[in-house]
């Protein structure tokens, strides 16, 4: 059975104070904050924290971040690794530190991690929930969790 987890990142300014969140449902979720970050970093960190908190079983990550979803579904990661952590323009991959952590979690073991894109701010209740958690974390610079 695959566990479906929604993730989101938020940033007040870019860079600025940010927040991340993941949720399996309204009873199993977490969020956190970073004082000086970017939206992209928070999107990636949300997935890292979701995988850390759910270390076993197959997982479907649902995100409104094309940055995260395309990295896996369009196999950007394979090109980055083949080119020695350079993007298709020959520049260093942004947020390499987080991507390395995420790849270690996503490609470890024998479980399957899949990625699905959902349009943000479109009325999807699960995406709206993680958006509200990430936004609250960015504003309050605090964390929350349940379950």
Domain ranges of the chain: 2-141
Helices (H), the chain: 39-53, 66-73, 76-82, 96-106, 125-140
Are β-strands 58-63 and 113-117 bridged in parallel, bridged antiparallel, or unpaired? parallel
Distance of CA 129 to the CA centre of its chain: 14
At 147 the pLDDT is 81
CB 130 within 8 A of CB 6: yes
In angstroms, the CA 33 to CA 77 distance is: 26
Give, for 102, the enclosing helix (H) or strand (E). helix 96-106
Per-position pLDDT tens, the chain of length 147: 999 999 999 999 989 999 999 999 999 999 999 999 999 999 999 999 999 999 999 999 999 999 999 999 999 999 999 999 999 999 999 999 999 999 999 998 889 999 999 999 899 999 999 999 999 999 999 999 998
Neighbours of 58 (CB within 10 A): 12
Extract the tokens encoding 2.
Answer: 């695959």
What is the fold of 2-141?
A: Nucleotidyltransferase; domain 5 (3.30.420)
Extract the tokens encoding 22.
Answer: 């993941």
At 109 the pLDDT is 84
At 123 the pLDDT is 93
CB 99 within 8 A of CB 42: no
At 5 the pLDDT is 98
Active site residues: 8-9, 43, 64, 121, 131
Residue 59 phi/psi, 5-degree rounding, is: -135, 135
Q: pTM (2 decimals)? A: 0.96
């Amino acid at each position: 059975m695959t566990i479906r987890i929604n993730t989101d990142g938020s940033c007040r300014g870019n860079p600025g104070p940010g927040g991340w969140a993941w949720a399996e449902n309204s009873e199993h979720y977490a969020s956190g904050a970073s004082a000086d970050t970017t939206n992209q970093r928070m999107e990636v960190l949300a997935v890292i924290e979701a995988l850390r908190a759910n270390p076993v079983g197959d997982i479907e990550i649902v995100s409104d971040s094309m940055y995260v979803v395309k990295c896996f579904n369009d196999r950007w990661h394979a090109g980055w690794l083949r080119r020695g952590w350079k993007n298709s323009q020959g520049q260093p991959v942004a947020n390499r530190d987080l991507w390395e952590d995420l790849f270690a979690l996503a490609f470890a073991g024998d479980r399957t991690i899949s990625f699905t894109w959902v349009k943000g701010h479109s009325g999807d209740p699960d995406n709206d929930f993680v958006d509200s958690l990430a936004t609250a974390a960015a504003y309050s610079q605090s964390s929350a969790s349940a379950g």
